[in-house]
Homo-oligomer: A and B are copies of this chain.
Amino acid sequence: MCGVRMVRLSKLTDYASVILAQMARQPDVLWSAGQLSEDSSVPKPTCIKLLKLLVKSGVLNSTQGARGGYSLARPPSQIPVKTIIEAIEGPTAITECGTDETLCRLTDHCSVMSRWRELGDQVDHILTKTTLEDLISPHTLYARSDRRIETLEVH
């Protein structure tokens, strides 16, 4: 049968968001893994693992060698939280339905799955609109009129 993952914020994604928030506050600094580990209190090995994942997914740039380190690849306002989640937890993709057609029509399984998929799309919409900038803002998401969750259009 099918499996859908809509959103899941793991411990590691939590860590990553704290680390990224730290970096976003001083975007021009080249941060070493050690420094970020200290500031965020995320154990260094784990911190390094997260930084690698974030580089791999294009959220961070890295500079190798002595005096190297990490920096944001884009401004915080251009890093959706969806990107951060997917960098750490892998794609939130919806697995395709493998149910055979006869059974499908019998049980309406595919029909129900379509609705779940639409729900997933709505969640996706929220996670794409919300960015790292929002995460480090002292104001609530709701207070920012330009970032309110708007009515989705029929498509």
A3 near B7 (CB under 8 angstroms)?
A: no
**Identity of the chain B residue whose Cβ is nearest the Cβ of A120 in the assembled complex:** B9
A100 to chain B, nearest CB (A): 10
Residue-wise, chain A 18-40 has the 8 Å CB interface mask toward B (1 for contact) of 10011001000000000000011
Interface size for chain A: under 10, 10 to 19, 20 to 34, or 35 or more residues? 35 or more
Q: Does A81 contact B (CB under 8 A)?
A: yes
A115 near B142 (CB under 8 angstroms)?
A: no
Q: Which residues of A contact B (CB under 8 A)?
A: 1-11, 14-15, 17-18, 21-22, 25, 39-41, 81, 103, 106-109, 111-116, 118-120, 122-123, 126-127, 130, 134-138, 140-143, 148-155
